[in-house]
Structure 1
Amino acid sequence: MTTILIAVLFVLQLLSIYFIIILNTKLAKFKDLEKKQERLMREMDDSISLYLTEMKDENNRLIQALQVVPKPEMATTTGQQKRNALQKNEGQPLSSLESHTKEAGRENEPRILVPKNIVTNAYSRQQLGGAPVQATASKPPTVQKEEPQPLTMEQQIVQMAKQGKSAEEIAKKLQKGKTEIELLLKFHS
């Protein structure tokens, strides 16, 4: 009877050791999983902070660029002042006349294109009668932009992704980080 009791206790000890080993392995797996999660959180935090610092730098560059751009002068000139300026510049080459108009702050203004026939009619009427002429065109003058705005980095990335390029290809082409590209694409999906 004591031998049976000893055998039962020995089997129970073996079972308890087996369960302790199983629990220990599960605990080790849980700790590994926890470490992986912490590492992923750090990587995500680093990539987001990198993205935010790049955005901050980009914003600072934009602010500096906007501060450098000269603001057009708001002073209006009378017709007599314009005539005097043209009389002064009659003997000068065309490039100096262009620099004069740029100095007046008109290089950033959009150009208004008026059809030739309206301009020639107005000029001939002014030469004949000297009275002011109003344009009677059926279409209002149109403002045309000289060149399209360049795409932003974000728009380029989205466009390349729509073309089927991978994040690695986009990152290599634009010389940016792969995680930054992936993060930006996730924001736009």
Structure 2
Amino acid sequence: MQTVLVLISLMLHAAAFYFILLLFTRYSNVKNLEQEQRKLLEETEQVLTGYILEMKEENERLLKELTEGNNPHSTSGEEKRYAVEKEIPEIESDELPSHLEALADINDTIEISSSIPKKEKLLKDHVLELFNEGLTAEEIAKELGRGKTEIELILKFRQK
């Protein structure tokens, strides 16, 4: 009886060591994955920091050019400084500014028409006439000097 208990104890110890080893390997895998994630996060932070610093330097350079008057789009340095320092006036009422009052009287109209160019109408009509005469799509394409697929598409759209 004692030998049976010793064998059961040994089997349980072996199973316990196996599970401990299995847990250790999984833990080391998770730890390695965590380290890789941390490295990726640090690299991402470095890239974003570099990008932000680059944008900041570019913005500072642009502001410096604007304040110094090196803007190629403007004619004089005085106008450039004025454009940078100028504040946008707030419109307190629904009225248009004095320089836009003439635009209030203009009425815009939009006409929507579905006119198809005559050439297209003629091509479609001509294709249909030839098709009604019994010609195939290839024969129509050769006669009109068009592609076979173009003629087939015209015929398919007309059938629907």
Report the TM-score, using the length of structure 1 for normalisation.
0.39
- Kindly indicate which of the two structures has a greater share of residues assigned to helix: 2
Q: Which is higher, the Rg of structure 1 or of structure 2? A: 2
